[in-house]
Amino acid sequence: MGLLVSVVRGLFSAYWYVLLAAAFVGYVPDIRHTRVGQWLARVTDPYLNLFRRVIRPVPIGQIYLDLSWIVGAAVFFVIEEAVGIVMVRLLVNLQ
């Protein structure tokens, strides 16, 4: 079970880095249309679209700020912590 906890935490960490990379690529149009940019969008858009449906970009002058990413990141951390707590409690109860 300890190995499972480590693997799940590793997967959360990996997805966090993918979310960060997607946020960066989203603001650099030249990268967005590369294979890497398209892959990042394909992996992160299903999750981020949950928040984009509710939270529209905020206009700031000539640009739009996508606040849905910030909310999505906060929710991601809450989910990560909740899953970690549940897994640790299960591990303790099994021993």
For the stretch 9-60, pLDDT in tens is 999 999 999 999 999 988 887 888 899 999 999 999 999 999 999 999 899 9
Q: Say which residues have a Cβ less than 8 Å from residue 90's Cβ, sequence separation at least 6.
A: 1
Q: Is the pLDDT confidence value at 68 over 80?
A: yes
What local confidence, expressed as pLDDT, does residue 13 receive? 96
What local confidence, expressed as pLDDT, does residue 80 receive? 96
> Contact, 29 vs 23, CB < 8 A?
no
Q: What single letter denotes the amino acid at residue 52? A: R
What local confidence, expressed as pLDDT, does residue 30 receive? 85
What local confidence, expressed as pLDDT, does residue 1 receive? 67
What local confidence, expressed as pLDDT, does residue 20 receive? 95
Which two three-digit tokens encode residue 94? 């099994």
How far apart, in Å, are the Cα atoms of 8 and each of 22, 31, 58, 72, 81?
Answer: 21, 30, 34, 19, 11
